[in-house]
Amino acid sequence: MNVFLSYKWEDREWANGIDGLLNNPNNRYRHLTDRERQDQRSKGENVVKNYLKGIIRENDALLCL
């Protein structure tokens, strides 16, 4: 049984939803306008969904601490 164990804060926030990462004050997208942020969010969600889908397919479980 393969388990993907993530201890990174960013991975947990991505798994919970992208708003947490965009609200992070250390985030490089913080200076963007609302429209630009919305575009980045759409791109990011698709990238992360595909990333997580790939990981979950390869492993039996995804644990975020």
What is the chain's length? 65
Strand partners, 40: none
Domain boundaries, the chain: 3-64
pTM for the predicted model, two decimal places: 0.28
User: Tell me: the pLDDT tens digits for 3-58?
Assistant: 656 656 555 655 555 555 556 656 555 555 677 767 766 666 666 666 666 666 66
For 31-59, letters b (16+ CB in 10 Å) and e give: eeeeeebeeebeebeeebeeebeeeeeee
Which two structure tokens, joined as six digits, stand for 63? 């644990």
